[in-house]
Structure 1
Amino acid sequence: MEPAVLTQALMRPTAYPHPVGKVSLIETHISQVFLAGAFAYKVRKPVHLDFIDLCTLAARKADCEAELELNCRMAPTLYLGLIPIVAGPAPRDVRVGGTGAALEYAVKMHRFRQRDLFCAMAESNRLTASHIETLAHRLAAIHLAAPVASANGGHGTPEQIAAVAEQVIARVAALASATDAATHLAALLHERAASLRPAFEKRLASGHVRECHGDLHLGNIALIDGVPTPFDCLEFDAGLRWIDTISDIAFLFMDLLHAGRQDLAYRLINTYLECSGDYAGLAVLPFYTALRAVVRARVLLEREHQRNVAGTSTAAEMATIQMRCVDLLALASVTLTRPPGAITLMHGLSGSGKSTVAQQLALGAAMVRVRADVERKRLPRSHLAAQGDLYTAEHTARVYGRLLAICRLGSAAGFPMIADATFLARKQRLRFASLAARRGVPFSIVDCNAGLATLRERIAARTRHGGDPSDADLQVLEWQRRVQEPLGSDEWRHVVRIGDAESTG
């Protein structure tokens, strides 16, 4: 059956074996999704692009089967099965789920409200910090449990990453009207892929190339039964699915930035990094963010090209897509050319408000925060620390060493960094100041203060309620008061004072 005839047949409510009022259609560049009653049916288009060949029924069936298998990892209740589409009793008529030779196949899913897609929620300002934090926690757990690529499997190699980037930007250049911008970006991507070769090799060797979602943007996440749920993972090309976990999260990071939600983008990346501990991924995050912007531009252009060939696109629609493409290419270019990021230290006793202020800065000023309270527990413990004392001099030195290494790496990648710790020892503050001076980046110390009674009250309340990363109790507070070294005259020019911040940080 011709694709256009099949589409018309599947738009009829009588084609379905359950009550259907009106059938709605959603199209992508490789699929059609028919919304019928309580269910959705996803049908592949018989297309042949440079990254996928769906010209045969067998290929489309195999792709449907792969989608069902792979998406059960992230959305097990959403996907219901593979359904044949067969000829109906009348000419140009079909039955979904009937008997007989299959004309086509569909992936059957539970239907959800389109307003519950994260892209729709972001557009209507209904996407909240809680949604993003819950999703970031889920993604960190999903990535941790995902299969790891073998070193010689061909996935995640510098050559494969560079080839994908060149292929995507070449297609954008062929379809976009902004040819100069595409040409400039192609050169940037090539240059950055070459300079990051050691980082790509290290990411593969350290087990960060895994079987991921592969297409993790706002349109492929929905709020289902109150839970942020990724669906429609990339099934048709293993090479685009077996990727760096940071590449996976970068698509969503880019999408939030492109949607004008910088606050949510940095809430996502800060929560994800804190959960996963994968701060080393900051080295490659700008490259993957740029690549994801180019991928989004390519998908938009491919779909518009299909509509233009079919004669269903207007000049105004084509112009709109081209403008969105220009915006995406500009985002990619800016991401790849960011200067080294500033370094900011939090400073103050436990309970003085450091963590709350640090989080506000991270979200408001697009910064990456790394917390001593979290990293202290992540590091391998010495004998004394293993017995429960995480504040030994040895363990504390290792914690500050990790904070310094993370800030060095993140700043080099173009991210302003916040080190969230007490920084009561002058020598620790000077190490970070020296790093900023060597890099030629701005350096700040945010000094948080509160009265002793307030400090004690907050720490006691934190201990009672539980759930806070900090293990500092009243005994630790008293120790901090004895050993703290005041800010020197040479440090005050970098200081921003915050008095009596409302926090338990």
Structure 2
Amino acid sequence: MRVATTGSAVPVGAGQGLGAVPGLPATLTETLTSVLIFLGDRVYKIKKTADLGFLDFRTRDARLAACQAEVELNRRLAPDVYLGVADISGPDGTVFDHMVVMRRLPADRRLSALVTAGNDVTGPLRAIARLLADFHARCSTSPEITEAGSAATLRSLWDEVLRSVEPYLGPVLDTTTIDTVRHLAERYVEGREPLLRERQRDGRIRDGHGDLLADDIYCLDDGPRILDCLEFDRRLRVGDVLADVAFLAMDLERLGRADLSRFLLDQYRAYTAVTHPLSLESLYIAYRAFVMCRIACTQYAQGSAAAAAEARALASLALASLRRGRVRLVLVGGTPESGRSALAADLAEAEGWTVLRAESVARELNHLPRTDPDGARDGTHDHTHDHTHDGRRDAADDAVYSELLRRAGTAVERGESVVIDASWARRHDRQRAAALARSTATDLVQLRCAPPEPVLAGRSVAQAGPGFDLSALTGHEYTFHTDPWPEAKTLEHGPTPTDILRAARRATR
């Protein structure tokens, strides 16, 4: 048996480290696609003779091609680990199989082991994020590769992975969970085609790693080594670079460390200096979780009873990520005194969403002062102050809401959730917002802020003037004059300032 290494062929049975090494016991490990033999300071990886649907290694030529591709691809990130491909020969010298030969790395330096042990891995994760940012900048791309980031390709990938788990619905996976995953994934892709096209134009679709897992990353003193690039299916390897790093982010979540997942993604964003919506991270985390769910289902079919629980956990992780990544259009309405502007700002800050203000847009369009003569601080007609529908004022209101919705549409199509702070007193404006949400597959949330009682009373007296009978104001006209708004959830001010914010956050879930 001989090993083909760069520039020469070296006998496997000769050379330093190829026999037993003190402290490194010989072991054998089996994965879904390979058998790994740990011997001395070497690892010998043999592809299984198997057809798993998403790969077919039944012929020796297929296994040889996979071994060669694995070495070539993995040398992009770990050139000193992947030593070459060896022929496996019989006693008569006939070659009957092949294997990848690797340098053995210390198991206790695996990222997964460090995370599980509770070690501080922020330094290694920072180094990994930097390495991946540099790696992705160097990865190849082409018109064919770029197509892998299209909405059509993403739909196809989701459809394929979801159909692959259908035989396991019932015994392993919950049908309702899988149906909801399908609905949310399809809905996100349907409404985000402008975002996906933008990622394609910007060159973010590359031939990356495809299988970034914490088990396959070693945190060494001289930097991380990232192993086990996906070699058997190029379709699963090429794609958005964010989908690549999202695989590791998903795996950190699977290990119970959502905080480290967030840290990794933030570091990657910083090193690439490229902005992207958090919702796109969530989509790719969900997809990677479901790819692993499919693998767990296959392992269950091969006789691993424990794989069923793992498949369910991964499906739940995918569902939670898709729910977290839903794009929302939130209307926050009410009178200026209701505190709606403060609530809109607090909600946007708490969730990391974009806030648009009618007052600001009105000033931009009409050069209005901060408070108009009628007291409507958002620059639109405050129907609480008078009930006339002056044509000029209605036209100004139409312009403000049109611009608000235009900006909101641009944002939600690019995966950003938006909070719009305006009175939303007219049914017509709310209907336009609902139409925008439908056309962009965006969740519409409608919130109406009720004014605090002391504000109501003080405002009414001030308007009425001395000697006015406050009891003459009753019901709807007294509290808030608006077109009926049954779709809105009315938020009352609680004993503490944060009560209404908590209620608003619950309403957007």
TM-score computed with the length of structure 1 as normaliser: 0.60
Does 2:340 match 1:325?
Answer: no
2:79 to 69, 76, 79: 76
Distance of 1:279 and 1:172 partners within structure 2: 34
AA aligned to 2:45 is: K
SS of aligned partner of 1:233? coil
Distance of 1:301 and 1:415 partners within structure 2: 38
Distance of 1:415 and 1:328 partners within structure 2: 29
AA aligned to 1:140 is: A
CA 194–367 in structure 1, closer or farther in 2 if over 3 Å, else same? closer
Does 2:174 match 1:174?
Answer: no
Does 2:147 match 1:144?
Answer: no
Distance of 1:206 and 1:146 partners within structure 2: 14
The corresponding residue for 2:203 is 207
Does 2:225 match 1:229?
Answer: yes
2:54 to 45, 51, 54: 51
SS of aligned partner of 1:234? coil
The corresponding residue for 2:288 is 292
Distance of 1:156 and 1:206 partners within structure 2: 11
Distance of 2:267 and 2:145 partners within structure 1: 32
Distance of 2:39 and 2:135 partners within structure 1: 31
Post-superposition shift, 1:199? Answer: 2.2
Post-superposition shift, 1:162? Answer: 1.4
Post-superposition shift, 1:242? Answer: 1.3
- 5+ residue gaps, structure 1, are 1-14, 90-99, 344-361, 369-403, 417-437, 442-492, 495-505
Post-superposition shift, 1:172? Answer: 2.5
Post-superposition shift, 1:226? Answer: 4.0
Post-superposition shift, 1:115? Answer: 2.0
AA aligned to 1:219 is: D
Post-superposition shift, 1:44? Answer: 0.5
SS of aligned partner of 1:260? coil
The corresponding residue for 1:460 is none
2:247 to 244, 251, 257: 251
Distance of 1:415 and 1:257 partners within structure 2: 26
**What is the correspondence of 1:38-437 to structure 2 with a 5 Å cutoff?**
38-88=41-91, 100-150=93-143, 154-175=147-168, 177-180=172-175, 181-280=177-276, 282-306=278-302, 308=303, 313=304, 318=305, 320-338=306-324, 413=416
**Bigger radius of gyration among the two:** 2
Post-superposition shift, 1:211? Answer: 1.1
- Any conservation in 1 of the 2:191–2:413 contact (CA below 8 Å)? no
Distance of 2:319 and 2:309 partners within structure 1: 15
AA aligned to 1:147 is: S
- Any conservation in 2 of the 1:118–1:221 contact (CA below 8 Å)? yes
Distance of 1:242 and 1:111 partners within structure 2: 28
Post-superposition shift, 1:194? Answer: 2.3
1:23 to 22, 26, 50: 26
Distance of 2:446 and 2:42 partners within structure 1: 57
SS of aligned partner of 2:44? strand
Distance of 2:158 and 2:57 partners within structure 1: 23
AA aligned to 1:245 is: V
- How far does the alpha carbon of each residue in 1:368-388 deviate from its partner, in whole angstroms, 9 at most, with x for none? 9xxxxxxxxxxxxxxxxxxxx
- How far does the alpha carbon of each residue in 1:120-146 deviate from its partner, in whole angstroms, 9 at most, with x for none? 221111251111111111111111121
CA 341–123 in structure 1, closer or farther in 2 if over 3 Å, else same? farther
- How far does the alpha carbon of each residue in 1:355-379 deviate from its partner, in whole angstroms, 9 at most, with x for none? xxxxxxx9xx9979xxxxxxxxxxx
TM-score computed with the length of structure 2 as normaliser: 0.59
CA 223–170 in structure 1, closer or farther in 2 if over 3 Å, else same? same
CA RMSD of aligned residues (A): 3.3
- 5+ residue gaps, structure 2, are 1-11, 331-348, 354-406, 420-443, 448-496, 499-509
- Any conservation in 2 of the 1:262–1:366 contact (CA below 8 Å)? no
Q: Give the total of aligned pairs.
A: 333
CA 152–133 in structure 1, closer or farther in 2 if over 3 Å, else same? closer
Post-superposition shift, 1:253? Answer: 0.9
CA 281–222 in structure 1, closer or farther in 2 if over 3 Å, else same? farther
- Any conservation in 1 of the 2:145–2:239 contact (CA below 8 Å)? no
- Any conservation in 2 of the 1:118–1:223 contact (CA below 8 Å)? yes
Post-superposition shift, 1:67? Answer: 0.8
Post-superposition shift, 1:280? Answer: 2.2
Post-superposition shift, 1:153? Answer: 6.1
Distance of 2:224 and 2:417 partners within structure 1: 30
Distance of 2:89 and 2:276 partners within structure 1: 52
Post-superposition shift, 1:152? Answer: 7.5
- Any conservation in 2 of the 1:25–1:33 contact (CA below 8 Å)? yes
- Any conservation in 2 of the 1:25–1:32 contact (CA below 8 Å)? yes
Distance of 1:227 and 1:440 partners within structure 2: 50
SS of aligned partner of 2:229? coil
Post-superposition shift, 1:269? Answer: 0.8
CA 107–67 in structure 1, closer or farther in 2 if over 3 Å, else same? same
